[in-house]
Each structure stands twice: as C-alpha cells, then as structure tokens.
Amino acid sequence: MTDSILLFKFVLAIVTFAISLGVAAYATYGERKIAGLFQDRLGPNNAGPWGLLQPLADGGKMFFKEDFIPAASEKFLFILAPGIAMFTALMTSAIIPWTSPILISGALYQVQVADIDIGILYSLGFVSIGVYGIMIGGWASNNKYSLMGAIRASSQMISYELAMGLALLAVIMMSGSLSLNDIVAAQKGSFLGFLPNWNVFKQPVGFLIFLICAFAETNRAPFDLPECETELVGGYHTEYSSMKLGLFLFSEYINMFISSAIIATVYFGGYNLPLIGRFVTDPNALAAIGFAVFFAKILFFIFFYMWIRWTLPRFRYDQLMHLGWKSLIPIAIINLLVTGAVLILKDYL
Amino acid sequence: MGVSEILAYALGIISVASALLVVFSKNPIHSVLYLIITFFSIAGQYVLLNAQFLFIVQIIVYSGAIMVLFLFVLMLLNLNKDTEPQKSNLFKFISIITACSLFISMIAMVKGVGNLNLPSEPDSQIGLVKNLGMVLFSKYVIPFELSSVLFISGMVGAVMIGKKETHDIN
Amino acid sequence: MQSLTNRSKVVSNKQMSFAERTYLIPIIKGMMITLKHLFKKKVTLDYPKMTRPMAPVYRGKHILKRDLNGAENCTACGLCAVACPAEAITMVAAERKKGEEKLYKEEKYAAIYEINMLRCIFCGLCEEACPKEAIFLTDEIVKPSDLRENFIYGKELLVEKMDHRYDITKRQKHLIK
C-alpha cells in the first residue's frame, strides 16, 4: 500500500515537473503569439504549423549561443543564480492539487505531490526565496544595471509579499485551514444560490490585492522593473547569455504558470465545476473533468497575465512603492478585519 | 542509524560549517550567503522534527525577508579592499574579551540548566499548525501578545528615527 | 482663447477622487481596447509567401530599353546623367560601326553605362529626362549584397534581355500626362 503510494507520488512528481516545463515552454510561444495578435501582427508562424515548434527553435537557439561570463564577475555565484531561480520556481508546483482524488484498483489517490500541513505558506516561502536567484545573479554580474535590477527586485519582492500574505490570510480565515486541498474543498457548492461558491465572490478585494501582488512577485509587466529594458538594458540579466539567460526567462514563465495555478486554486475553486457532481459520479471521470476545468482556469490566467502586459505601461519606481505600502497593505488589513468581523458575527447569528 | 538520523547529522554538519564560514569568509556577501545556508539547514532540522510551521516560518521570515534585507544593504556598500576601515589593536583586544566572556556565559548557561526533564516520547504532532496555534493562543497568549506589542513599538521607533524632520524647514 | 477646432480637451489640476485614483475603470477600458485588437484583421503580410501588389509605376531598378528589333534605344546623350540629382549615372559614348545596326538604334551609343545603385535615390528624373525613351525604372528591387562594388550596375545588368521584355506602356502613359 505505502509502496504503491510512493510509486504514485513519484510518477506524479515527474508528471508535474514535465507539465510545468511544457506549459512554460508554450507560454513563451503564447506570449509572442498573443503580443503579435494584440498589436495587429501575426506572431510566430513559420516553425511548424502555426509556429507551434517555436519553443523548440528558441530553446535550440539558446543552447547554441555563446556562453559568456564577464571577467570581473563572481563566477560561481554567476553560474549558480539561474539555477536557484529555476529551482525555486519549480519547487512550488509540489503543493498544487491538480484534480479530485482518482481511483486506481480500489484505492483513492490524492492528485497532489505533497499534501503538507502548511500548504499555502509553503508557496509563499518559496516565492520569497525565489528572489535570491535574481539578487545573486544581479550582484555577481558586477554591472551597475544588473545590480540596480537586483536591488529593485528585492525591495519589490519584500514590499508585495506583505500585502499578498494579508490577502491570503483572509481566505485562510474563511476556510480554517492552510492546506490547499481544504481550501479547494471549501469552495464546493454554490454561494447566494446562483454563484459558484468560489472565494473570488466572497473576497473580491482580497482577490484583487492578491492578483496585483502576484504580478509584482513574478516580475511581470506592469511591475517588471527588475528587468525594465528601457531603463536598465536587461536589468538583472544584462550580463547573461545562452542557456543561463534562457533559465532566467524560463523561470519567469514557470512562476507565471504556478501563480496562475495558485490563483485558480485559492480564488476560483481549483478543480471544482459547479453542478458537475449531479451528472457525473465516477471518480475517475470527475477527476478528468476536474483536471480539464482546472487547466482551463490556469490558461485563462496565463492569458490574463499577457493581456495585462500588453495593455498597461510600466510603473515608475516610486509609484510601485506607493502602491505597495500606502494602498495595498492598508486595504488588505481592512479586508482582513472585515472578514474577521463577518466570521464572528456569523457565529452569533 | 535511520535515514532521518543521518539527515539530521548531515544538516548539523552543514549548519555548523556554514556558520563558521560566515565568520571566516572575507567577503561580506559571501558571509550573508553562508548565513542563508545555515538558516536553511536549521529549517531542514525542523522538518525532521515534523515542525512544519516552524520550518516555513524560518524560511519566510529569516531566509525570505531578513536575509534579503541584509543582502540588499550589503550590495549597496562599496566593498573595495582599500575602503575597509582599519581597526586598532585596542578595538581588537576589546572584541576578543567580549567574545570570550559571551562564550563562557553560554557554556555556564548550558551547564546550569541541569536536567531538562524532556519527555522521553515527545508529541510528534505538536509542530503542526493547528496544535501550535492552540498552544500559542491559550497557554502562551500573554507572551505572544506582549511580543507583538514589542514589535509594534520597535516599528514605531524605527519610523520615528527614519522620518525626516520637516518642521525645521517650514 | 477660443479654440479653432473642437478637438482640444480642457485639462485641470483638480484633486482626483478616490475612484479616479484607483484607475480601475481606465484600466478596464484599456484592456477592452487591446482585446478588440486581438480579433481585428491583421495588417502584417506573411511576407515570403504573400507579397503586396506593386504600384504599376513603382520606381525600382532601372532598365535600358531596346526597340522592337532588339536595338538599344540609348544614344548616350548624357541628359539622364545631367538630370540625376545624386550623380549616380556615368557613361562613355561610342560611335556605331558598320554592321552594328542591329545592336544600336542610332549612330551613337553608350559603350559603358553605369548606375551606382547606392547613390541612386530612385527619383525617376532620368526617366523623365530621356528624349529617346531608353531608360525606365522598373518594379524590380535592387538585390542586396555585402560588397559595394556589386551595386555599380553596368550594361550587362541594365540592358533589357530579349527573352525577358519589360512592359512599359503604363509608364509611358504616365509620362504623357
């Protein structure tokens, strides 16, 4: 029994890894295609049908580029940094519940690599150490633009983590658990009779704050100040080339995928689809539908990331800090207090 | 020796070695990076004790926030060798005395504790969030709240010091 | 001051309200604009597979016309070189010998006729200056090269090939107008 669970988890971990990389690879294609479509262009369309082999071509190009290490850099840290960025990006996928439990030869298996007690805190933790890759890379390059990118990344990360945590706390208070599985389970059924019982309808303000912070934490436009081509050349990856640059760029897309998954899990009911339980009862069929639904939600948010990126201009640095400290954190605290008050009132009524 | 015991020893060796490297490495940035490794190995010990909450708090607070700030400040410093302040011999002598007395008092503290009366079969579930929260908000609620007051006063103090004095200009 | 058009917008420095400061509505408006563009007809052409139609009087690479019998029209009068604002055209005149009547239309012809395509600005003044309807601009594009010498087009590149005649009727009409 325990052996079969171990085997299942092992297979699941590899599949999760592969899915994260695959989605991230095609997110790069999607980004370029969608950017093209938004700007009335065609986007990549020459590599394979509709340009679908473009990620392979990009990867191949990255591998065959000259791998340049600046002479004045800290070589070990310079090489280590992209690895850290990639590692932390991939680690977070371990706690995401992909779909409802599946039935294999009479036993139910949870489709989640690690159902740990601390659940959502784990993702916060790995997001917060994800900045080390950028910081170390930026400092080790020994370049002023890289250093400025690194400094911007670190201060931005710390500022937005607070509001993100506070927004999540309200959700945690409502579901009474840190485990993502419980948070998803608490979003079954319907809310006010006609809406699905998703947290986004109960926590609209919290969702908005979380969304903004997720943009900031993944260094995506309009919060892409750490790379900021117009001001800092390439920001923290100015000195990087070849696959090391590829890893940095790739980790950004993995982060985007994972954060989309977390938004979908925490605020959009994860793999829940309202009323599906009435029509389908077989657990494996439910799991398949759940997986498809969950993926549709994730893909929507990846699209949303790109949509925002190609719509809004970048923030100025002081605007970024104002938004983080003077707007988001107070609103998040008020949201938390209101949530707490409502939860207490509910017990008395 | 079980797997967890081997892991515990390995993590212990890593944490002690990297803690020593914090002190002995020449470059302050390297010191900070070794300190981060130390914190991670300590966090690993928490995982082995099934104290998941402590593990993640260690990572979020120490590795994720405090060390990022350390690194942030150090990156802004000019770390050229010729700008390093030369310390006088008197200063070195004083610091050696202070360090030694701290070390002696720590040894005395460990010896003075005597029998700790640790339970032979500790509760392996105490580190989980639910249990820890229960203990924190019932048995230890006053120290917990007092520490939060301490933090707030610290924050207010920092803001007061950091604030520019504007009334002179007006 | 009264505005001449009603397109100008009056701006003011008044304090924005809270709702305005959140910028939520402008952001949503902007996102709707980008979303509209997602479904718009694309302006880019899938170039090597598709090409845009050339204008019938496009001013590209030059051609030195031959008449119906295959004799060169050019008499090396030099008017094109004089007209050329970029001084891209040079030529050396020569006298027609006996037996060359099939090659050259009149007694004088250009032994060497060179256009420096790097200097040429494709204004078409040579075409206008030519009294013999010998030089025309075509809708072909000068081919790229990484050597400057390759851009000095001599007679072998400029003179019309007999197996590949170039239709200039549209350009002639244009000249008459």
pLDDT in tens, B33-91: 899 889 989 888 888 887 888 888 888 888 888 888 888 888 777 666 655 666 778 88
pLDDT digits (tens, 9 = 90+) for B101-122: 999 998 888 887 766 666 666 6
List the structure tokens of B143: 């120290």
The verdict on B63 touching A (C-beta cutoff 8 Å) is yes
pLDDT for res A193: 67
The percentage of residues in chain B with a pLDDT greater than 90, rounded to a whole number, is 16
Verify C-A touch: 3 or more CB pairs within 8 A: yes
Q: Do A311 and C37 touch (CB under 8 A)?
A: no
Residue type, B43: A
Min Cα distance A68 → chain C (Å) is: 28
Provide the percentage of residues in chain C whose pLDDT is more than 70.
95
Cβ distance of B68 and A122 shorter than 8 Å? no
Q: Do B29 and A139 touch (CB under 8 A)?
A: yes
Q: What is the mean pLDDT of each run of 10 residues along chain A (349 residues)?
A: 77 87 88 88 83 86 86 84 88 82 74 77 84 86 85 85 88 83 79 75 87 87 79 82 86 89 86 73 79 88 90 85 86 90 85
Q: Does A79 lie at the interface with B, CB-CB under 8 angstroms?
A: no
CB-facing half-sphere around the CA of A195: CA atoms within 13 A: 11
Distance between CA atoms of residues A109 and A103, nearest Å? 6
Class of the CATH domain delimited by B1-78: mainly alpha
A154 versus C4: which is more confidently predicted? A154
List CB contacts (< 8 A) between A308 and chain C. 31
In the predicted structure, residue B167 carries a pLDDT above the cut 70: no
Out of A116, A124, A154, name the one closest to residue B52 (CB): A116
**In whole angstroms, what is the distance from residue A99 CA to residue A105 CA?**
18
Q: Do A40 and C43 touch (CB under 8 A)?
A: yes
Does any CB of chain A come closer than 8 Å to the CB of residue C17? no
Confidence (pLDDT) at A266: 87
Contact B64 A161 (CB under 8 A): yes
Contact B68 A139 (CB under 8 A): no
Chains with at least 3 CB pairs less than 8 angstroms from chain A? B, C
Question: Judged by CB atoms within 8 Å, which residues 103-142 of B form the interface with A?
Answer: 128-130
CA distance A26 to chain C (A): 19
Nearest to B68 among A139, A147, A154 (CB): A154
Chain C residues within 8 A of A312 when measuring between CB atoms: 27, 30
> Three-state SS for C66?
strand
pLDDT confidence of residue C9? 77
Mutation pick from A33, A34, A40 vs chain C, by most beta carbons of C within 10 Å, is A40
| Residues from chain A contacting residue C31 (CB–CB below 8 Å) | 307-308, 311
Phi and psi dihedrals of C153, rounded to 5? -85, 125
Of the candidates A307, A302, A207, A309, the one whose C-alpha atom is nearest the C-alpha of residue A258 is A302
Q: How confident is the model at residue B150 (pLDDT cuts 50, 70, 90)?
A: very high
Look at strands C89-95 and A195-196 and give their pairing.
unpaired
Say how many CA atoms lie within 13 Å of A100 toward its Cβ.
23
pLDDT band (50, 70, 90) for residue B170:
very low
A138 touches A147 (CB < 8 A): yes
> The sheet that has C89-95: what strands, in order across it?
C89-95, C108-116, C152-153
Instruction: Give the whole-angstrom CA distance, residue A292 versus residue A297.
Output: 9
Q: Is residue C76 within 8 Å of C109, Cβ to Cβ?
A: yes
DSSP code of residue A49: G
Q: Which chains touch C (3 or more CB pairs under 8 A)?
A: A
How distant, in Å, are the alpha carbons of A18, C76, C83, C139, C144 from that of C86?
A: 62, 18, 9, 20, 20
| C-alpha triplet C24, C25, C28: angle, nearest 5° | 90
User: For A118, which of B36, B56, B64 is closest by C-beta distance?
Assistant: B56
Range 211-270 of A in CB contact (< 8 A) with B? none
Spell out the long-range contacts of A329-332 with Cβ–Cβ below 8 A and sequence spacing 24 or more.
A329/A162, A329/A163, A329/A166, A331/A205, A331/A209, A332/A162, A332/A163, A332/A166, A332/A167, A332/A170, A332/A206, A332/A209
Burial of A34 (0-12, 13-18, 19+ CB in 10 A): buried
Q: Quick check: B36 contacting A, CB < 8 Å? A: yes
- Angstroms from A46 CA to nearest CA on chain C: 9
CATH code for residues C62-176:
3.30.70.3270
pLDDT at residue B82 in the model: 58
Residue ranges covered by each domain of chain A = 58-348
* Backbone conformation region of residue A270, classed left if phi is above 0, alpha if psi is from -120 to 50, else beta: left
Question: Is C19's Cβ below 8 Å from some Cβ in A?
Answer: no
pLDDT tens digit string along C75-117? 888 899 899 999 999 999 888 888 888 888 888 888 899 999 9
Structure tokens at A120: 């959502």
DSSP calls for A172-193: HHHHT-S-HHHHHHTT-SEETT
CA distances from A321 to A316, A317, A327, B65 (A): 9, 6, 9, 17
Q: Do C30 and A40 touch (CB under 8 A)?
A: no
Q: If you average pLDDT over every residue of chain B, what do you get?
A: 82
Q: Write the residue in B55, B68, B128 that is nearest to A158 by C-beta.
A: B68
Measured between beta carbons, the chain B residues lying within 8 angstroms of A158 are 65, 68-69
User: With contacts defined as CB-CB under 8 Å, which chain A residues touch B69?
Assistant: 154, 158
Interface contacts A/C by beta carbons within 8 Å: 34
Report the candidate in A252, A242, A282 with the shortest Cα–Cα distance to residue A62. A242
